[in-house]
Amino acid sequence: MMLDGTHQEEMTAGPHSAGGTIFQAVVESAPYAMLLVDDAGEITWVNGEAERLFGYSRTDLTGQPIELLLPDRVRVAHRMLRGAYARDPVPRPMGAGRTLHARRKDGSEFPVEVGLKPVGSAARPSVLAAVTDITLRRRAEADLRHLNKALATANQALRRANAEISRKSEEVESFVYIVSHDLRAPLVNLQGFSRELEFGCARLDQAVAALDLPEAARDQLKTIVAEDILGALRFIGASVAKFDRLINALLTLSRTGTQTYRHDRLDMAAVVAATIDAVRRSTEAEGATIVVDTLPEAFGDATAVGQVVANLVHNALKYADPDRPPRVEIGGAADRQEAHFWVRDNGIGIPAHAFPRLFQVFQRFHPERAPGNGIGLAAVKRIVERLGGRIWAENRDPAGTAFHFTLPCHPPKAQPEC
């Protein structure tokens, strides 16, 4: 809160002066705890919010040193800082200095931000302090730090697990499941505290609107609430939503490793036809042509294989070359042991350096082209391997990518020909 010269004089003129009474009424309705401190460090006036925040009455506080409202451990240092400020009193906006701790009448401590404004005259110098409790914000910040730390820990653990994923699949699946659930708790806390802060901002905005403040001061307060605080909350909300999508994706990936799959004889032509029909709206929207060649039979789970084909077709459409209409070719062949299928496209291809990490979790090699979480190909690989097959990819000449995967030609523990 900023005071002009007239208001400074009014604030220290005494409660019985007309100007002082009017301006004190304005400050009384402020949403912050406001305290007037003289050059001796004694409190000469407080508003109702200060009474509520610190638990003291006005009578209790008037005439007391300002250090009464500080923890014992910092009182001596604060007197020195107060003396230094008195020698060079300059306005200090709220949030511009260090975060301090205050103490209530009951002895409890809480974090605060303090704004200072020299008021009065050279003969009667005083300082008007505006104090706000930032406990909720600190909790939200702590939860965000915990969330980021947990995410970093999870990513590091996942990178280590990927090196052993083919050898220790069951342990990796259990790990992902546990970590994903452990991350839910701070996520829920962060969402809850963010809602509390949004509610507080709404109340603060209403309080500011009710104040008889100069237009510039009101606009400044509204800007702080609308842009600084709510802007930060929107960023937190977007981060929480993104992280929630990652957790859901991790759980989906985990289920691909633990789900029980059928091993039925599949009419792959029928499986692919049903899949293409399901994604027809996307293919038509992209103006894509899909060509299906003769497909051999194979053994596997019809639903899971349909997911594999759908994911590869979506991948082809997502990374289509903007200079030519998308074209996707699906074909296959078989020998005595396995059926080999491919999904070819004429898109932008895959960078050569990306192939070693292509099927790893959280890998995206054209993030500017389309949204995603880097889970799709990792899930496809796990499904194919759980069904007893293999998957790989290669760039085509002159353009595009071909994804290949195999499925058994026979049910488990049997050796019939395809």
Q: Is the pLDDT of residue 28 over 70?
A: yes
Q: Could you count the other beta carbons within 10 Å of the beta carbon of residue 400?
A: 24
Q: How many Å apart are CA 176 and CA 39, to the nearest integer?
A: 61
pTM score over 0.85: no
17: left (phi over 0), alpha (psi -120 to 50) or beta: beta
Supply 280's token pair: 């027809």
DSSP state of 347: S
Average pLDDT over residues 170-196: 70
What pLDDT, on the 0 to 100 scale, is given for residue 18?
45
CATH code reported for the domain at 5-133: 3.30.450.20
Question: Quick one: average pLDDT of 365-386?
Answer: 77
Q: Is residue 311 classed exposed, middle or buried when 0-12, 13-18 and 19+ CB atoms within 10 A define those classes?
A: buried
pLDDT bracket for residue 189 (50, 70, 90): confident
- With both helix axes pointing from N to C terminus, report the angle between 135-162 and 169-182 in degrees, rounded to the nearest 10: 170
| Cα angle: 411, vertex 301, 315; to 5 degrees | 130
CATH, range 264-408: 3.30.565.10
- What is the predicted pLDDT for the residue at 95? 67
| Percent of the chain surpassing pLDDT 90 | 35
Tokens linked to 128: 């008007």
Q: Average pLDDT of 49-59?
A: 95
CA atoms within 13 A on the CB side of 256: 23
241 compared with 257, residue with greater pLDDT: 241
